[in-house]
Amino acid sequence: MDNSLLLLKKIVQEAATAASPAKQMDYIVSAVRAAMQVSVCSLFIADAQGVLTLAATDGLDPTAVGQVRLAEGEGLVGSIARSSHPLNLEDAAQHPGYRYFPETREEEYQAFLGVPLVHLRRHIGVLVVQERQRRKFTDDEEAFLVTIAAQLAPSLSLGQSHFSGETPEQDSATTQRIIGIKGASGIGIGTIHLLIENDLKQVVDQESVDTELEIDRFRAALSECRDELKQETYSLKGDLPGDVVAIFSFYEMLLDSKELSQGVEHNIRQGNWAPGALRSTILQYSTLFENMEDSYLRSRAEDMWNIGNKLYSKLRGHKTVTSQDQNLILTGDLISISDIARYKREQLVGILCQSGSSLSHTAVLANALGLPAVMGTGKIKNLIAGVPAILDGHQGQVILNPLPAVVEEFQQLANNERLLFEGLEELKELPAVTPDGHRIRLFANTGLMADVSPGLKRGAEGIGLYRSEIPFMEHENFPTEEEQKQIYRHVLSAYAGKPVTLRTLDIGGDKVLPYYHFNEENPSLGWRGIRFSLDNRPIFMTQIRAMLRAAEGLNNLRILLPMVSRVDELDTFNLLLEDAREQLKAEGYQVQRPPVGIMVEVPAAVNLLRFFASRINFVSIGSNDLTQYLLALDRNNARVSHLFDNLHPAVVQEIFRIVQQCCSIGLPVSLCGEMAADPLAVILLLGMRIETLSMNAYSLPKIKWLIRTLPVKVAEQTLQKALSMEHENQIRKLTRQVLNNHSLGKLVC
């Protein structure tokens, strides 16, 4: 076929921008028919039961759309779906699996080529082309159709749930279930409240007529944003702890950044108008964050665009208008903390972001306010204001136009959850001890100053992981020793008398600092973590000194080293630590040597634990990265993220091996990450007799309830059964049954 690559690219791009699933499917069949110059192109879409329905056709009788249905294995189309293999026939009617549908009027077509549509191992449907004359389609034609099916399958999978099998159009009153990312747990029942979009990303470059006027416009917008932000900060002070309100200081820092103002003004002086110059500057800095592997740091790109949209709104002269209605689900592409601050807490029942991540400041603020949040749903087509909806933060889903029975069911779940947490409030000051006497310490993970209070409020016994990268990302240059010391001191003081684990700088690879840029072909396996720090000794020494000074008089500091895979890395660090301590003592500081630990997240570290033992004081299992490296997949890659599972048998067995090794050589061991907050996984960790779990603050009461209810002997028996299982689904079924047997089923929504 001539220009097949260009045709392929055009069809895929146009299909992705279609206004609705029905229009997308209609476009695909007409475009493929024209590209291949055939008589017919038809698209069959599979429902949840595998039944294939004719969703669109160009060439057959259009009244057959929605009427022709085949089970998997039925007819030629069903056979293709079952075998996941193309079928290329000279004369379709002569094939033993052929089935004729009178309503299609396809008896005049003989040549048949059908290919399966599969995405992430899930059958999406079948794409078919037909020709009147008897012939076999060429290898090039078959290759083209196979290729375009592979390219279109992901896009069609998003619209799969929108196709009812009866009509190609989606009624605005039809119940829709949209899957996103869990941002903040909880259930909200209300109506969609759409924010007015100020999408800076859509701004185009335009030549500036008056450079100085454009600069003045930008400076005025900057000043107006600063004033508005101060008002928004003040409006939330009564609802939140001071350090949660401090999230707004990050926005203030961005607005005061010389890089932002000088970058925009430079672009204006280069001839661009103010909105275009702003877009270009925001894009430059957000891209630095977006290219980072660490999901926490990558989410800071959202803050850049939020600030950009806020400034763009002022450039356009838009006045902020808010609703006085109640039970609102605040909805938009990117919702900023400023957007939330404009509403009274009692007006809101949830936050729905079509973009964004679970680690965004928006999600952190939603958690602190007790608002459920769902992020990253992608563009929800035909979404209108006032639509009744259920926001399920536990499952990361939103249900539009729910049936009355569904509303009633979720209302009961919300009531049960409220009663559950009211009942768990009394556990705050109680230890996490099993009925048969096994004690586990429960720590909180934190990466923001704003995360400190929620952990204390929910009974955290310490901080198991504090990400120290954030001050480095939020500065215009490497932060000074004094700046770092003040930040660390705040966290250590808040948890005075409780252990606080500060992880040293985990930068490098594709976690690029705006002021220290470098490129690598394989950043996940490159210059990062402890390797970066040791190779940049002045920076590392400054951080070590800041940590030691911050702990003076408090003595609750523990230092955690990331990505350790070699003995000499520990030897070098211990020399640096001792050197820093001697320096500070000579300067008059009363500093002590803190306990030092490593994160076990690199498989190599597991086999070196017996050599590490004499050089460290504790071990923290980083379950997220360890799982990622063990399974050789990126959990942020949509193509393979569904395979990421902490209960994969290999992960369970490896963590058990780590715990056993640490026990045999006398190393205290903890675990942090998503696994620590998963009740099903905690049963197994309890069975391993792990000593400490570190998790998000929200999960602390639930996990404490589980530990105080489930005997460790039951957990040990469950672990032994799980270790003999070959699939994570078997392990989930087993552990879920254990929860149900002990009246803990409410923990898994």
Among 406, 378, 10, CA closest to 159: 378
Tokens of residue 458, six digits:
């929910």
Give the H/E segment covering residue 467: strand 463-467
Nearest to 88 by CA among 144, 47, 152: 144
556: left (phi over 0), alpha (psi -120 to 50) or beta: alpha
The active-site residue, picked from 672, 727, 742, 749, is: 672
Of the residues 119, 193, 361, 438, which is catalytic?
361
Asked if 126 and 80 touch (Cβ cutoff 8 Å), the reply is yes
Which DSSP string do the residues of 60-124 spell out, in sequence order?
S-GGGTTT-EE-TTSHHHHHHHHHTS-EEES-GGGSTT----GGGT-TT--EEEEEEEEETTEEE
749 is catalytic: no
Please name the helix (run of DSSP H) or strand (run of DSSP E) that holds residue 441, with its range, or none: strand 439-446
Distances (CA, A) of 576 to 261, 573, 614: 39, 5, 17
Q: Which residues contact 607 (CB under 8 A, 6 or more apart)?
A: none
Cα–Cα–Cα angle for 91, 96, 97, rounded to 5 degrees: 95
Q: Give the number of other Cβ atoms within 10 Å of residue 70's Cβ.
A: 22
Sign of the C-alpha dihedral, residues 221, 223, 228, 232? positive
CB under 8 Å, gap of 24 or more: what pairs does 508-514 form?
A: 508/532, 509/293, 510/291, 510/292, 510/293, 511/292, 511/293, 511/294, 511/297, 511/469, 512/288, 512/291, 512/292, 513/472, 513/473, 513/478, 514/259, 514/285, 514/288, 514/473, 514/476
Cα–Cα dist 690/715, whole Å? 11
Residue of 501, 500, 517 whose CA lies nearest to 509: 517
Element (H, E) at 619: strand 618-622
Q: Transcribe 628-670 into DSSP letters.
A: HHHHT--TT-TTTGGG--TT-HHHHHHHHHHHHHHHHHT--EE
Task: Give the pair of three-digit tokens for residue 541.
Answer: 């020494």
122-131 and 40-46 beta bridge pairing: antiparallel
Looking only at the bridges linking them, the beta strands covering 69-70 and 52-58 are antiparallel
3-state helix, strand, coil in the chain (%, to 5): 50, 15, 35
Kind plus residue range of the DSSP H or E element containing 445: strand 439-446
Q: Specify the length of the chain in residues.
A: 749
SS (H, E, C) 351-411: EEECCCCCCCHHHHHHHHHCCCEEECCCCCCCCCCCCEEEEECCCCEEEECCCHHHHHHHH
CA distance 250 to 261: 16
Contact by Cβ (8 Å): 558, 592: no
Q: Which residues are catalytic?
A: 361, 672
